[in-house]
Amino acid sequence: MNHAMQADIGYKSDLLHCTDQVLVAMAREKDEAAIRTLVRRHNQRLFRVARAVVRSDAEAEDVVQAAYVKAFTHLSSFRGEAEWTTWLTRVVVNEALGRLRKQRPVTGLEQIDVERGQSAQIIQFPSVQEQLDPEVEMSRLEMRRFLEQAVDELPSDFRAVFILRDVQGMSVEETAATLDLKSETVRTRLFRARQLLRRSIEQATRGTFESLFPFDGQRCVFMADRVLADLRALHAITEPGS
């Protein structure tokens, strides 16, 4: 490996420790390594946001890609008045909503009736861990798919707030700025989203609890035999026919 390649690897490694502000400044100068670092750093967040709006993995990837292109070709419009992540996420949201508008009319953000109240506990999505037992991994995968389906069934405005707040971990203020909403609207939509999710989960698991910890069939028969044997030993009951 020559000195030029070593220097290049060291340069890219150093970029991982740079702040977004520094990387954006470098991106303005068309530094490809800085752009690549920003993309890899924010892919997860932006995909989740796009996925929350369009409800399709493939479409979400297209949205994120298009949003990145728009962001990096219009960096002059980013003046640093908001955080880079907030501005970038807003670009993704606008791109996703724009695609939905082309597909069908969408309900205005302020037209949905929401219930006010205190927020419930945050729903934690199962994380993926390396080298899991195959059965454990399968259970986690099934749970993740179940939760993703439940989230997909939320109304789009509630779903976007839920993803940003409870999945992505953004603050109320960041979410409000990203979606161009009032903070109180974010809180009430999150509360409503959690209510709908809870209702969906309860409906999906209805009747399941009744089958937990079964003690029937032959196990039930054996238990009766053992109890009766003990009672006879204590002369609490008499032998049949005696």
pLDDT 10s digit of each residue in the chain, 242 long?
444 444 454 556 688 889 999 999 999 988 888 899 999 998 888 898 888 888 888 898 999 999 999 999 988 888 887 888 889 998 999 999 888 888 764 444 333 333 333 333 333 434 444 455 676 667 677 777 888 888 888 998 899 899 889 888 889 998 998 888 999 999 999 999 999 988 888 787 765 555 555 556 776 666 677 777 777 788 766 666 55
Residue 30, domain member (yes or no): yes
Query: Both 90 and 139 in a single domain?
Result: no
Query: Both 161 and 206 in a single domain?
Result: yes
Query: Both 142 and 99 in a single domain?
Result: no
Q: Are 175 and 165 in contact (CB under 8 A)?
A: yes
Residue 97, domain member (yes or no): yes
Residue 205, domain member (yes or no): yes
Cα–Cα distance for residue pair 61/50, rounded to 1 Å: 8
Q: Are 93 and 46 in contact (CB under 8 A)?
A: no
Query: Both 157 and 199 in a single domain?
Result: yes
98-117 pLDDT, tens per residue? 888 887 644 443 333 333 33
Query: Both 156 and 77 in a single domain?
Result: no
Query: Both 99 and 28 in a single domain?
Result: yes
Residue 121, domain member (yes or no): no
Query: Both 8 and 101 in a single domain?
Result: yes
The CA-atom distances, in angstroms, between 154 and each of 24, 43, 52, 157, 169 are: 35, 23, 9, 8, 18
Q: Which of 89, 106, 123 is the last residue of a domain?
A: 106
- Against a cut of 0.75, is the pTM above it? no
Domain with residue 57: its CATH number is: 1.10.1740.10
Q: Which of 106, 123, 149 is the last residue of a domain?
A: 106
Query: Both 91 and 26 in a single domain?
Result: yes
Query: Both 138 and 186 in a single domain?
Result: yes
Query: Both 68 and 145 in a single domain?
Result: no
Question: What is the number of domains present in the chain?
Answer: 2
Could you tell me if residue 169 is left (phi over 0), alpha (psi between -120 and 50 degrees) or otherwise beta? left
Residue 81, domain member (yes or no): yes
228-238 pLDDT, tens per residue? 777 778 876 66
Domain with residue 143: its CATH number is: 1.10.10.10
Cα–Cα distance for residue pair 20/35, rounded to 1 Å: 10
Residue 114, domain member (yes or no): no
Domain that holds residue 184: 134-210
Query: Both 98 and 172 in a single domain?
Result: no
Query: Both 17 and 75 in a single domain?
Result: yes
